């Protein structure tokens, strides 16, 4: 055996595997968000789910990725186990597309324009397109780097394939290689074991079949020695997938992996039995000892998968029942947010759009829970209810859990991000989850304040509560604008938060002065001054937190602001006409709502007296 030929073979194999990985990662990154939306809408029709599985796998070039994504969606409750069954079978068929592309090795262009479709032409064309996209179009075309990586991956894949085929041709005269292939042809069990082992190590059925296609150029492989290898590949690939699906997963997610193994075992049995019967009946006499090429391997693999899929698809509910027998339900404490927690699945790290969407769902829930608690907590000031107080404390535990889980997930996700847009989204999420947690903390503070008043059997005066009601109305508008800004990435809502926050600061100053005057006139209890001051402190901090969320949304929608964020928002407060208009209109609206104070001044009079006494920059 020529050492340098073996070295060329291994180098070509490395290029082939890296090219497949680079192309697959680019395809998954560019399409994962759309694929997730499509997969979530899949119906209970098994055939439609099957076609979806075929299409998704053909696009992202990885049955493992498709099944892992499906497992994650099942674990998150976005798909039922029944809906996933057709996708699993379709994924196994869709992975044959790679082999059909590689069969271009056998194309005889005969000097015609068809030569452009041969790997020797496609490889340099793809590499040229890729480098042009990355180096020349990065700032002009959206996702140019991702598209370039896909093209370069495609080019490297075919370059590696060409290197392997040339090395195999040189090695084909080696007695060792001839004896190796002859022994595999004579021992189907050895071929089955070899296919299983290689697919398990490479974690890719497409790569294993591609390597087999490259070796076919030696002219030493015969059909009856090759088909057991192909069948072995089915088991080796699905074992890895099942392991990935089972790591830290829910029972339904593990069932997806079990069903995939069961399907491939049944498929293997069908093929082995079917081929044995066909050979015994003489139907394969012309094929049995035929020397295979790349096209015959690809067609055999595709035919096996399509026929088995059509045979097994009608009885697939039996596989669902089997999975329930093998994977029992785990007795767990009922958790109303369990599905949202499970959606933060590490299996989604290679499809960042899905991972970030799972974070978004949990963050929105965290904010809405904190907002609800603020409103409930304020209501306790006038009508204390221990049951509602306990509900707020219970929700706060979830809000804190949300923050812990999102923080850990975002940190783990960061190394997997390659797209600038995904990084910008992660930056926003990392900024806001702590802000949402602070909103929950302020709700707890207000509820503790209300409990303190109830324990003392005391309450704020009617006038004080009138002032606080107006302040709370303002806070509700601020929280509504904050929710709209984050939920819809509404930059106009984000901008409106800033002047509203300044109105809140003005009102806090006015409410403090009025409270001091009421205590001087004896209409407010001096012993409740700490409660009143603490309440106003929490209220203005709620406005501050909302302002921070609005700024995070603005920076995400307008990334050019990030490098001069502090200066930008300082200038906005002093020079922007819309800011000034919204501030004046909102200030008039809420100050006019204030009741008469201890000096007999109406809301409109109090508005004129409560001029800003601070630098809001």
Residue 522 shares a structural domain with residue 545: yes
Which among 290, 295, 248 is positioned nearest to 102, based on CA atoms? Answer: 295
Q: What is the mean pLDDT of residues 46-62?
A: 77
Amino acid 70: pLDDT:
75
- Pick the more confident residue, 464 or 52: 464
More confidently predicted of 162 and 590: 590
Burial of residue 314 (number of CB atoms within 10 Å: 0-12, 13-18, 19+): exposed
Q: What are the pLDDT digits (tens) for 23-32?
A: 666 655 655 5
The reply to whether 173 falls in a domain is yes
Which of 457, 484, 500 marks a domain boundary?
Answer: 457
Say what the pLDDT of residue 234 is. Answer: 84
Verify that 474 and 604 share a domain, yes or no: yes
Q: Which of 326, 352, 372 is the last residue of a domain?
A: 326
pLDDT of 36 over the 60 cut = no
Residue 442 sits in the same domain as residue 530:
no
Does 331 map to a domain? no
| Separation of alpha carbons 297 and 597, rounded Å | 89
What pLDDT digit, counting tens, does each position of 568-597 carry? 777 776 667 788 899 999 999 999 888 875
Which domain CATH number covers 366? 1.20.58.220
């976005």: which residue's tokens? 78
CB within 8 A of 552, min separation 6: which ones? 428, 431, 432, 435
Q: What is the mean pLDDT of residues 324-349?
A: 75
Checking if the pLDDT of 68 tops 50, the result is yes
**Is the distance from CB of 327 to CB of 256 less than 8 angstroms?**
no
- pLDDT band of 113, cuts 50, 70, 90: low
What pLDDT, on the 0 to 100 scale, is given for residue 135?
81
More confident residue, 545 or 520: 545
* Out of 352-361, 377-386, 476-485, 522-531, least confident range: 522-531
pLDDT-based confidence at residue 485 (cuts at 50, 70, 90) = very high
Give the alpha-carbon dihedral of 267, 270, 272, 273, to 10 degrees.
170
Q: What value does the mean pLDDT take over residues 421-443?
A: 93
Q: Tell me what pLDDT residue 615 has.
A: 39
Q: Which long-range contacts (CB under 8 A, 24 or more apart) does 265-273 make?
A: 265/235, 266/308, 266/312, 267/92, 267/234, 267/304, 267/305, 267/308, 267/312, 268/231, 268/232, 268/234, 268/235, 270/307, 270/308, 270/311, 270/312, 271/227, 271/231, 271/304, 271/308, 272/228, 272/231
Are 499 and 429 found together in one domain? no
d(Cα 173, Cα 50) in Å, to the nearest integer? 44
Q: What is the mean pLDDT of residues 394-417?
A: 92
- Residue 599 predicted with pLDDT over 60: no
**Residue (of 375, 536, 525) closest to 461 by Cα position:** 525
**Is residue 497's pLDDT more than 70?**
yes
Q: Which of 91-100, 339-348, 459-468, 473-482 has the highest mean pLDDT?
A: 473-482
Whether 359 and 271 map to the same domain: the answer is no
| CB-based burial, 154-170: b 16+ in 10 Å, e otherwise | bbbbbbbbbbbbbbbeb
Distance of alpha carbon 602 from the chain centroid:
54
Chain centroid to CA 443: how far? Answer: 30
User: Does some domain include residue 615?
Assistant: yes
Q: If you average pLDDT over each of 96-105, 181-190, 242-251, 560-569, which comes out highest?
A: 560-569
Could you tell me if residue 504 is inside a domain? yes
Residues 468 and 437 in one domain: no
Is residue 533 located within the same domain as residue 426?
Answer: no
Split at pLDDT 50, 70, 90, the class of 616 is very low
Q: What is the percentage of the chain residues whose pLDDT exceeds 90?
A: 28
Name the domain count of the chain: 3
561: Cβ contacts below 8 Å, ≥ 6 apart: 554, 555, 568
Report yes or no on 484 lying in a domain: yes
Q: Which pLDDT belongs to residue 598?
A: 46
Query: Quick one: what percent of the chain has pLDDT higher than 70?
Result: 78
| Mean pLDDT (whole number) for 466-490 | 94
Alpha carbon separation from 238 to 18, 88, 283, 314, 319 (Å, rounded): 21, 11, 30, 21, 15
- How many residues make up the chain in this entry? 617
**Same domain for 470 and 439:** no
Whether 14 and 145 map to the same domain: the answer is yes
Asked if 449 and 514 sit in the same domain, the reply is no
pLDDT digits (tens, 9 = 90+) for 223-256: 888 888 888 888 877 775 666 556 555 677 788 8
As given in the structure block, the two tokens for residue 400 are 């804190």
3-state secondary structure (DSSP) of residue 210:
helix
The answer to whether 371 and 479 are in contact (CB under 8 A) is yes
Q: Does a structural domain hold residue 333?
A: no
On whether both 284 and 422 belong to a single domain, the answer is: no
Provide the domain limits for residue 363. Answer: 343-457
Distance CA 346, CA 409 (A): 8
Supply the pTM of this predicted model.
0.61
Of 435, 457, 479, the residue at which a domain comes to its end is: 457
**What is the Cα–Cα distance from 318 to 314, expressed in whole angstroms?**
9
**Are 363 and 445 in the same domain?**
yes
Would you say residue 338 lies in a domain?
A: no
């Amino acid at each position: 055996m020529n050492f340098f030929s073996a070295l060329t073979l291994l180098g070509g194999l490395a290029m082939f595997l890296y090219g497949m990985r680079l192309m697959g990662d680019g395809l998954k990154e560019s399409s994962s968000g759309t694929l997730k939306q499509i997969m979530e809408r899949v119906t209970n029709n098994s055939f439609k789910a099957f076609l979806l599985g075929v299409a998704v796998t053909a696009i992202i070039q990885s049955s493992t990725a498709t099944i892992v994504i499906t497992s994650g969606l099942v674990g998150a409750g976005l798909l039922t186990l029944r809906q996933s069954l057709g996708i699993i079978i379709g994924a196994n068929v869709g992975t044959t597309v790679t082999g059909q592309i590689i069969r271009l090795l056998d194309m005889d262009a005969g000097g015609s324009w068809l030569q452009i479709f041969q790997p020797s032409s496609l490889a340099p064309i793809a590499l040229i397109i890729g480098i042009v996209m990355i180096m020349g179009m990065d700032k002009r075309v959206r996702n140019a780097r991702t598209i370039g990586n896909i093209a370069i991956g495609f080019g490297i894949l075919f370059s590696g394939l060409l290197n392997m085929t040339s090395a195999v041709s040189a090695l084909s005269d080696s007695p060792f290689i001839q004896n190796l292939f002859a022994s595999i042809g004579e021992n189907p069990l050895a071929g089955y074991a070899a296919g299983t082992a290689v697919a398990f190590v490479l974690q890719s059925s497409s790569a294993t079949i591609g390597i087999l296609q490259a070796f076919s150029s030696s002219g030493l492989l015969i059909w009856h020695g090759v088909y057991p290898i192909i069948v072995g590949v089915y088991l080796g690939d699905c074992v890895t997938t099942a392991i990935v699906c089972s790591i830290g997963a829910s029972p339904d997610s593990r069932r997806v992996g079990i069903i995939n193994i069961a399907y491939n075992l049944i498929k293997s049995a069908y093929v082995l039995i079917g081929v044995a019967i066909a050979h015994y009946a003489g139907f394969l006499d012309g094929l049995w000892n035929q020397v295979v090429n790349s096209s015959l391997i690809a067609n055999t693999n595709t035919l096996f998968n399509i026929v088995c899929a059509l045979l097994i698809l009608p009885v697939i509910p039996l596989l669902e029942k089997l999975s329930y027998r093998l994977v029992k339900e785990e007795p767990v404490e009922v958790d109303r947010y369990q599905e949202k927690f499970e959606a933060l699945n590490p299996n989604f790290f290679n499809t960042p759009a899905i991972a970030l969407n799972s974070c978004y769902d949990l963050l929105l829930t965290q904010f809405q829970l904190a907002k609800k608690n603020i409103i409930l907590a304020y209501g306790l000031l006038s009508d204390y209810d221990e049951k509602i107080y306990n509900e707020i404390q219970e929700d706060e535990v979830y809000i804190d859990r949300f923050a812990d889980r999102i923080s850990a997930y975002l940190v783990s996700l960061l190394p997997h991000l390659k797209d600038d847009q995904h990084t910008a989204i992660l930056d926003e999420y990392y900024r806001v989850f702590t802000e949402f947690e602070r909103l929950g903390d302020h709700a707890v503070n207000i509820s503790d304040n209300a409990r303190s008043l109830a324990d003392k059997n005391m309450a704020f005066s009617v006038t004080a509560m009138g002032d606080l009601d107006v302040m709370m109305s303002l806070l509700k508008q601020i929280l509504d604008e904050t929710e709209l800004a984050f939920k819809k990435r509404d930059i106009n809502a984000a901008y409106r938060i800033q002047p509203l926050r300044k109105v809140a600061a003005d009102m806090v100053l006015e409410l403090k002065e009025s409270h001091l005057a009421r205590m001087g006139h004896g209409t407010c209890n001096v012993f409740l001054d700490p409660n009143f001051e603490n309440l106003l402190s929490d209220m203005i901090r709620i406005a501050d937190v909302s302002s921070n969320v609005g700024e995070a949304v603005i920076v995400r929608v307008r990334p050019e602001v990030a490098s001069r964020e502090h200066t930008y928002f300082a200038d906005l407060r002093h020079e922007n006409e819309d800011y000034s208009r919204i501030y004046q209109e909102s200030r008039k609206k809420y100050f006019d709502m204030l009741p008469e104070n201890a000096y007999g001044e109406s809301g409109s009079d109090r508005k004129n007296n409560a001029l800003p006494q601070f630098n809001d920059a």
